[in-house]
């Protein structure tokens, strides 16, 4: 049997409760942790001394006229930061993240997915070092770096097992980037970070099951249960969908969902039917002018995506299906087709339970999510942080 995981210290548990609650009294913290008030006073003072939390005032007194409770929250002026990097098919985004979970986008750069890993990692490391220089940050001021990237990611080792769109295989991303910037690096699949960073995530309850669909250059997916990401690979974009044509996917298989419903499939269909080299966004803009071929392309996309989501829903029985990503911003042209295909291919009881939501986070969710993950790994799961 594997060794039993070590329980987090009371200090770390208290810090995470304060993070989740935003503002909480010592009395309520004692109740939630089932500890005495003197013990909670000691723990909270240790967290104050570590610079992680602060007293934010007093709450309302109890009905019997007792003392007003002392309120605690995360320290707004915590001096250390995390850095988030989102390596996308077209763009690299980098941001500085703070203890509160807020972030400041530093810049966006174009990426070239045909480049070798070393070139893109050098681009990422240069951006990280320039951010540190421009913000006056020494390495001791940065807790860690979080990286979001598409493909099969072994988050425990920080290795990109396989990324079809980048054509990367067994790239030790965390190790290589850490050597370049001399900081701890954590890596996660971009759809999982998007799920963490989506504003709808915060509305989920502990009983909800949600399927998150990243509809962009490719089609990614993640499952959230009990407000936690379900570990393991989750590749909606690479289930087989027969369209009557044999189309080779970037992953090497034939007839994956991505060959019918991804951003690159839209570009391919535009070239085939409009005889023009257009981006998915340009096809959406053409649809907005009334072009019937462009509209038909998006209807085609919606149909196949709806069928694939229905198959997943029949298996997972989700409460919510959240569709995000760059292509989802053109949902006006395919949402109806998606929902029709979803209803036609889902068991009635599962259909009645599920609610499809199109995210309004635009391009911010992945960077917000990787900041959240970096904070969790580097601070909220780190005994060293609360022991300083």
For 286-335, the DSSP string reads HHHTT-HHHHHHHHHHHHHHHHHHHHHHHHH--SEEEEESGGGGGGGGTH
Q: What is the pLDDT of residue 244?
A: 81
Comparing 64-68, 172-176, 356-360, the range with the smallest average pLDDT is 64-68
Measured CA to CA, the distance from residue 262 to residue 279 in angstroms comes to 12
Strands 219-225 and 228-229, sheet pairing: antiparallel
Q: Which tens digit of pLDDT belongs to each residue from 134-192?
A: 999 999 999 999 999 999 999 999 999 999 888 899 999 999 999 999 999 999 999 99
Question: Tokens at residue 332, please?
Answer: 């006006």
Mean pLDDT over 53-78 rounds to: 83
CA dihedral 259, 264, 266, 268 (to 10 degrees): -80
Question: Tokens at residue 6, please?
Answer: 């070590």
pLDDT at 83 over 90: yes
Q: What is the pLDDT of residue 188?
A: 97
Q: What is the pLDDT of residue 2?
A: 44
Q: What is the pLDDT of residue 364?
A: 84
Comparing 58-67, 300-309, 354-363, the range with the smallest average pLDDT is 58-67
Q: What is the pLDDT of residue 3?
A: 47
pLDDT at 195 over 90: yes
Measured CA to CA, the distance from residue 18 to residue 99 in angstroms comes to 12
Instruction: Scan for tokens 């580097």, then name that residue.
Output: 378
Mean pLDDT over 329-352 rounds to: 97
Mean pLDDT over 1-26 rounds to: 83
Instruction: Scan for tokens 């850095």, then name that residue.
Output: 83
Q: Please name the helix (run of DSSP H) or strand (run of DSSP E) that holds residue 191, with its range, or none.
A: helix 190-197
Q: What is the pLDDT of residue 6?
A: 66
Q: What is the pLDDT of residue 1?
A: 37
- Mean pLDDT in the chain? 93
Q: Bigger pLDDT: 205 or 175? A: 175
pLDDT at 5 over 60: no
Mean pLDDT over 103-113 rounds to: 89
Mean pLDDT over 369-378 rounds to: 96
∠ CA 177-237-355, rounded to 5°: 110
Mean pLDDT over 268-280 rounds to: 95
Measured CA to CA, the distance from residue 96 to residue 137 in angstroms comes to 11
Measured CA to CA, the distance from residue 213 to residue 231 in angstroms comes to 16
Mean pLDDT over 61-88 rounds to: 87
65-92 as b/e: b if 16+ CB within 10 A: eeeebbbbbbbeebebbbbbbbbbbeeb
Instruction: Note whether 47 and 53 are within 8 A (CB).
Output: yes
Q: Classify residue 230 by its DSSP letter.
A: P
Q: What is the pLDDT of residue 268?
A: 96
pLDDT at 63 over 50: yes
> What SS3 state is found at 147?
strand
Q: What is the pLDDT of residue 112?
A: 84
Structural domains of the chain ordered from first start: 10-74 (1.10.10.10), 81-195+365-386 (3.30.420.40), 199-358 (3.30.420.40)
pLDDT band at 206 (very low <50, low <70, confident <90, very high): confident
Residues in a beta bridge with 92: 87, 109
């Amino acid at each position: 049997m594997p060794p039993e995981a070590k329980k987090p210290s009371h200090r770390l548990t208290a810090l995470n409760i304060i993070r989740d609650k935003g503002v909480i009294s010592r009395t309520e913290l004692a109740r939630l942790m089932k500890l005495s008030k003197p013990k909670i006073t000691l723990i909270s003072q240790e967290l104050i001394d570590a610079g992680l939390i602060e007293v934010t005032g007093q709450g309302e007194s109890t009905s019997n006229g007792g003392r007003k409770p002392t309120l605690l929250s995360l320290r707004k002026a915590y001096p250390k930061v995390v850095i988030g990097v989102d390596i996308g098919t077209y763009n690299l985004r980098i941001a500085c993240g703070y203890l509160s979970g807020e972030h400041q986008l530093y810049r966006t750069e174009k990426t070239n997915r045909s480049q070798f890993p070393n070139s893109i990692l050098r681009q990422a490391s240069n951006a990280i070092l320039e951010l540190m220089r421009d913000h006056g940050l020494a390495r001791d001021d940065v807790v860690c770096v979080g990286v979001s990237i598409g493909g099969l990611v072994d988050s425990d080792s920080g290795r990109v097992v396989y990324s079809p769109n980048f054509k990367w295989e067994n790239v030790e991303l965390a190790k290589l980037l850490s050597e370049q910037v001399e900081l701890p690096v954590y890596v996660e699949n971009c759809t999982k970070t998007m799920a963490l960073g989506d504003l709808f995530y915060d509305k989920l309850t502990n009983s909800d099951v949600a399927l998150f669909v990243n509809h962009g250059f490719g089609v990614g997916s993640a499952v959230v249960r009990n407000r936690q990401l379900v570990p393991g690979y989750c590749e909606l974009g690479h289930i087989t969908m027969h369209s009557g044509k044999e189309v080779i996917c970037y992953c090497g298989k034939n007839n994956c969902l991505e060959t019918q419903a991804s951003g690159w499939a839209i570009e391919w269909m535009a070239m085939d039917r409009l005889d023009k080299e257009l981006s998915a966004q340009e096809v959406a803009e053409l649809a907005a002018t009334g072009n019937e071929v462009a509209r038909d392309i998006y209807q085609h996309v919606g149909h196949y995506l709806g069928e694939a989501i229905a198959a997943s829903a029949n298996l997972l029985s989700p409460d919510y299906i959240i569709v995000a990503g760059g292509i989802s911003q053109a949902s006006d042209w395919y949402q109806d087709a998606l929902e029709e295909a979803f209803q036609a291919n889902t068991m009635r009881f599962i259909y009645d339970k599920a609610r499809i939501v199109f995210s309004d986070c635009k391009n911010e969710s992945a960077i917000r999510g990787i900041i959240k993950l970096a904070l969790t790994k580097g601070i909220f799961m780190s005994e060293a942080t609360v022991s300083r």
